[in-house]
Amino acid sequence: MPTMVSYPGVYIEEISSGVRTITGVATSITAFIGRTRRGPPNDPVRVQSFAEFERTFGGLWSASTLGYAVAQFFQNGGGDALIVRIAGSGGAASKASVSKLVPGPAAAAPTGALSLVAAANGTWGDSLWARIEPVPGSADDTVFNLTVLDNQTGTTEQFLNLSTDAASPRYVKTVLEQGSTLVRVDGAVPAKLVAGVVDEKTLDPKKPPILDDALSEQFKSGGDGGDITNDDISKPDLEAKKEGIWALEKADLFNLLCIPPLKPDADLGLQTRDAATAYCKKRRALFIVDPLIGWDSHAKALKGVDATFMARSSYAALFFPFVRAPDPEKKGQVASFAPCGAVAGIFARTDAARGVWKAPAGLEATISGVSGPTVKLTDGENGQLNPQAINCLRSFPNFGTVVWGSRTLDGFDQLGSEWKYIPVRRLALFIEESLYRGTQWVVFEPNDEPLWAQVRLNLGAFMHNLFRQGAFQGKSPAEAYFVKCDKDTTTQNDINLGIVNIVVGFAPLKPAEFVVIKIQQIAGDIAT
């Protein structure tokens, strides 16, 4: 609004430039879904290193394929991962009944005990210890201090001045639910916790108090449960509960999705593959698909990629075959692993070095930490798989194992899809997500030329920045992209309906999949 003038003089007024910079979103946040030893179930947790994954989810586990996929992801250049733990049925959380105890000259029995349970199912909870102590200087039996130790990881949680009174701001049940990653209250909270005295002579001086049986309680009776199934990941009724694949609804953004085999000898089912692809389409992400365990030759792969495998989509990409690598859980014995984690790491590494518009394949896309693919493919076999949109992992002398294909599952030659190539699809997803988030300010603005001009300015600046980085074809901006938002895209009827139409076009770079070199002899001059 114009400045209200009231006295003769000079007035200063700041005018908005209309520039609202659009920032590109991340391109290689990878979601992993599967079974782990520990961690919160159906709750995506972001980790940025394998050490962090080990602390939260328990690291490698021979009964599950997820830990190996995550390890290969970080080993090959990955930086951000979202982990969704799927727990098998029949599991149990470890429990303990903890009393308030203090060392003293004579023994006195405690009154009241607090029942605690591990925060999630699994035998990991059997490594928990808990101790309750009086608050120093307080004779109030409704307040106490609680210490919890995870003896497996060394993590200690201490909660001071907890209360058994539900009206207290330090009510034990509420505090543990909001602040503890290890334990929860199991059942009712006793009205009072009267301290008992433990004879000092029974204490072990070699043990810290939290690990002394006389003062603390160890949790018991945890169970990991059975193997996970496709229904645990993709049963349709999980969507309403935000569990399984749909637990990612709780996450703000992910770009790649990896669901390794259910267990070392059990593939994902059609239900899960199709549900994952549909969900990736909704969230503007790409599903990295593993081949079936039984595909031990290129012929089986060719025969297996049909409607019974999964529906073709540009939101999914298949990589074949499995890779071989040492298994630390089996003293370094070489085993076969699904490639999705390693391939996702290659995607992340390529994005950081070259940009999302560069195909994550070629001699630069070497897979670290593997001894080779389980099936060694020839050029001729590769030539049969590539037209079927099966991206091959090849082993070359002096280069090692590399990703040697960059097609989406929509890249089957006979389909003639414009989303044939992975970098084209991923660049489009990057632009879509960035513009979706960067144009939220437009909502409820007056729908007329001043707004349209601001839209053209801000979106044009974003697209021009990508052009300068080499993301598009063309020698000039006019050849590379366009942004339209004017009376031609938004008619008066659109304005009456509250709609503003923005049209953005770009000329994507496509990988040089086939290199043809023509050699010709020069005959030389012939004397006449």
DSSP code at position 2: -
CA–centroid distance for 327 within its chain: 23
Q: Which residues pair with 146 in a beta bridge?
A: 132, 159
Q: What is the pLDDT of residue 513?
A: 85
Q: What is the pLDDT of residue 88?
A: 86
Q: What is the pLDDT of residue 16?
A: 82
Model confidence pLDDT, tens digit, residues 376-387: 999 999 999 999
Q: What is the pLDDT of residue 105?
A: 85
Model confidence pLDDT, tens digit, residues 118-175: 999 999 999 999 999 999 988 899 999 999 999 999 999 999 999 999 999 999 999 9
Q: What is the pLDDT of residue 504?
A: 97
Model confidence pLDDT, tens digit, residues 465-499: 999 999 999 999 999 999 999 999 999 999 999 99
CA–centroid distance for 142 within its chain: 43
**Confidence category of residue 528, pLDDT binned at 50, 70, 90:** low
Q: What is the pLDDT of residue 395?
A: 95
Of residues 235 and 16, the one with the higher pLDDT is 235
**Confidence category of residue 255, pLDDT binned at 50, 70, 90:** very high
Per-residue pLDDT at 4 exceeds 90 = no
Q: What is the pLDDT of residue 215?
A: 93
Which CATH code fits 30-88+227-423? 3.40.50.11780
Compute the distance between CA of residue 288 and CA of residue 271 in angstroms, rounded to an integer.
15
State residue 65 phi and psi, 5-degree precision.
-95, -10
**Confidence category of residue 13, pLDDT binned at 50, 70, 90:** confident
Per-residue pLDDT at 232 exceeds 80 = yes
Q: What is the pLDDT of residue 424?
A: 97
Q: Count other C-beta atoms under 10 Å from residue 13's C-beta.
A: 7
Mean pLDDT across 329-346: 95
Domain segments of the chain: what residues? 30-88+227-423, 95-218, 441-528
Q: Are 102 and 134 in contact (CB under 8 A)?
A: yes
Whole-Å CA distances, 222 to 38, 39, 62, 94, 392: 11, 14, 19, 4, 42
- Percent of the chain scored above 90 by pLDDT? 88
Q: For the purposes of burial, counting CB atoms within 10 Å of the CB of 256, is it exposed (0-12), middle (13-18) or buried (19 or more)?
A: buried
Mean pLDDT across 378-399: 95
Per-residue pLDDT at 186 exceeds 60 = yes
Q: What is the mean pLDDT of the chain?
A: 94
Q: Which value, in Å, is the radius of gyration of the alpha carbons in the chain? A: 30
DSSP code at position 199: E
Q: What is the pTM of this model?
A: 0.93
Q: What is the pLDDT of residue 527?
A: 63
Model confidence pLDDT, tens digit, residues 259-290: 999 999 999 999 999 999 999 999 999 999 99
Q: What is the pLDDT of residue 426?
A: 97
